Copies of this chain bind each other. A is one copy, B any other.
Amino acid sequence: MGEESKKWVLTVTAQTPTNIAVIKYWGKRDENLILPINDSISVTLDPEHLCTTTSVAVSPSFDQDRMWLNGKEFSLAGGRYQRCLKEIRSRACDYVDEKKGIKITKKEWENLHVHIASYNNFPTAAGLASSAAGFACLVFALAKLMNVKDDLGTLSSIARQGSGSACRSLYGGFAKWIMGKNDNGSDSIAVQLADEKHWDDLVIVIAVVSSRQKETSSTTGMRDSVETSMLIQHRAKIVSEVVPKRIVEMEEAIKNRDFPSFSRLACADSNQFHAVCLDTLPPIFYMNDTSHRQALSAFSPS
């Protein structure tokens, strides 16, 4: 390509909502591939409210991959970003825009650099799964840009390698992350249980009980839990049937739009997740006095 042809810029913008787990993901069996120790289920929030908007651009004039998060440049050196970029690039397909005179072959994508600009319209690292929305959006936007033809299941397994719960943010409505069994993670993907129209009078209220950033990152916290909590083993083990049983009941509750069961299971599983955090050395506290009262009031007749 000559100097003249370096002037073009190809851009794709995507928007991805965050998701709130109702059966929690907590603990990895493989840190690098981000493979979980149990299935999880989430509700995808309405992108009108909490979402990430990511624009990805490619141009022969870009000399390196770069990223800006909420307007501030952010290093892409981390393994998780590199893995997502590599996975998407390896699936890139020929792209042709005859009107603009742009043609990028599968081979050329390997040497083209991208610029990424991502915005969250909600607080980062405050328990609202900003990394889930962020990685889901990044992977989806890059896949569109590079004309990747794989299905959402495959994209979900790539987003998973950025942030575990990101795999669930590729679907609206209700999503299930199947933990999978393969060592290479190929079957650890998210699937949609029901779309956003299935239960459209279900409303999620987010109450802000603290505006401070959480003190322990999910990555560090779940690693400590897996290494030190004796209770987490029981929670996830197939033989114990704690989470596996809840997954089955939660799928049934969603299918039947059974709010009493749905809320009972979500509260019980959330409390058990916080219990495992407390059983971790050193203990992790994601609740405070205000959320304690809220958790209790969820069980009071009203």
Contacts and interface: CB of A to CB of B under 8 A. Distances in A.
A12 interface: no
Contact of A296 (B274, B285, B300): B285
Contacts of A231: 231, 234-235, 272, 275, 279
Interface in A240-297: 240, 242, 268, 271-272, 274-279, 281-283, 285, 288-289, 292, 295-296
Nearest to A288: B289
Contacts of A234: 230-231, 233-234, 240
Q: How many copies altogether?
A: 2
Contacts of A299: 281-283
Interface residues of A, number: 27
Q: Name the prevailing secondary structure of the A interface residues.
A: helix
Contact of A275 (B242, B268, B279, B289): B279
A300 B283 CA distance: 11
A272 B268 contact: no
Interface in A133-179: none
A134 to B, nearest CB: 28
Nearest to A241: B230
Contacts of A288: 289, 292
Contacts of A242: 230
Contact of A271 (B235, B240, B278): B278
Given A231-B231, A275-B277, A275-B279, 7 more contacts: A231-B272, A268-B281, A275-B275, A275-B276, A282-B299, A283-B295, A285-B292
